[in-house]
Structure 1
Amino acid sequence: MATNRATKSGFAAEAQRKVNAKYSEELAQECLEWIRTITNEDINCGGDMDNFYEVLKDGTLLCRLVNCIQSGSVKKINNTTMAFKCMENINAFLETAKVLGVPAQETFQTVDLWERQNLNSVVICIQSLGRKAGNFGKPSIGPKEAEKNERHFSEDKLKAGQSIIGLQMGSNKGANQSGINFGNTRHM
């Protein structure tokens, strides 16, 4: 856990401060309130880092959350406080979140939550899961999921587009390479 580590100093401390500065208490509070709505559990919905970490650190609530979104997603939830069992819970949540449609770039690593390394990435993952929950008939949070806007063009339209020279390509009317001598020395 984070309490067993030495305090960071120098570049590591500076990097950790930058990571912690990205954390938004408002978004974290919105995530906790959404989790409370989905799971019907009485949890403290304060958005400060300490509360957010304490509520989610063992992974049991996260596992119950994905089980409420899609029942039976996580088969076994470990209710012990042993480190590797808690990290197993967090990992089970992450794997299920990916199955439910959360992109890999919006997930977090187990240590980001367990060792309190990057709680902002945990918030991002829960927000992404919250957007995907709407696809399973559950209340969603965050911005609405984008809809596919596929366009179909006829063969004639596609061929007409190939004959147009875009203005970004420029024009080379009358240009030649007569004055270019990069790398050449003067010949005598």
Structure 2
Amino acid sequence: MSVSESECRKWIEAVTGEKLVGSNLEEQLKDGIALCKLINKLSPGSVKSVQKSKMAFKQMENINAFTEAARRYGVPDSENFQTVALFEGQNMKQVMICIDSLGRQAQKKGYTGPKLGVKMADTQKRQFSQDQVDAGKFVPSKQMGYSKGATQAGMGGFGNQRKM
């Protein structure tokens, strides 16, 4: 389940300490500045240079710098987004999935600030002896669908009804 636009907005504002300006999330994030500030709060120095220009290619550079930093931070490629998804408003759902994933990664990494999304489970490495591994390989053949010759003969409603 993905988070809503308002949850994303509130979390970004809480982490960065700055109010987002604009009528919707796409407009608020389109220049990439808020996203760069967000990732730099979670992982200082992730984006070295944030472009403050109104020129489209500079804004797209910010967005690209954020997505690359998010990937390095631990956001899987399947949960990240392409620059045009945000800049041209082609897929805001994917942008929100990325922000949600970033929130989960922050919690996993021990970020103690505002939370977004559910905490990811920690891996629990199991150690098995060779005897336990070998025991798991043995499956008796009678447990694999053997029914001792049973059939559906005599069961009503399965094609063996008499015609009158």
Q: TM-score, normalised by structure 1?
A: 0.70
Equivalent residues of 1:113, 1:119 under 8 A apart: yes
Structure 2 CA distance for aligned equivalents of residues 168 and 105 of structure 1: 39
1:37 aligns with 2:10: no
Structure 1 CA distance for aligned equivalents of residues 142 and 64 of structure 2: 51
3-state SS of paired residue (1:43) = coil
Q: Per the alignment, do residues 167 and 62 of structure 1 end up closer, same or farther by CA in structure 2, a change over 3 Å counting?
A: farther
3-state SS of paired residue (1:80) = coil
Structure 2 CA distance for aligned equivalents of residues 89 and 40 of structure 1: 19
Runs of 4+ in 1 over 6 A off after TM superposition: none
Unaligned runs of 5+ in 2: 149-164
Q: Of residues 47, 51, 69 in structure 2, which corresponds to 1:74?
A: 47
1:62 aligns with 2:35: yes
1:152 aligns with 2:132: no
Structure 1 CA distance for aligned equivalents of residues 4 and 39 of structure 2: 19
Q: Which residue of 2 aligns with 1:118?
A: 91
Q: Which residue of 2 aligns with 1:95?
A: 68
Equivalent residues of 1:90, 1:110 under 8 A apart: yes
1:132 aligns with 2:105: yes
Cα deviation for residue 139 of structure 1 reads 2.6
Q: Per the alignment, do residues 166 and 107 of structure 1 end up closer, same or farther by CA in structure 2, a change over 3 Å counting?
A: farther
Unaligned runs of 5+ in 1: 1-23, 174-188
Which stretch of structure 1 is more off in the superposition, 26-35 or 90-99?
A: 26-35
Q: Per the alignment, do residues 167 and 110 of structure 1 end up closer, same or farther by CA in structure 2, a change over 3 Å counting?
A: farther
Aligned residue identity for 2:86:
L
Q: Per the alignment, do residues 35 and 155 of structure 1 end up closer, same or farther by CA in structure 2, a change over 3 Å counting?
A: same
Q: Of residues 19, 28, 34 in structure 1, which corresponds to 2:5?
A: 28
**Percent identity, aligned pairs only?**
49
1:51 aligns with 2:28: no
Q: TM-score, normalised by structure 2?
A: 0.80
Which stretch of structure 1 is more off in the superposition, 126-135 or 113-122?
A: 126-135
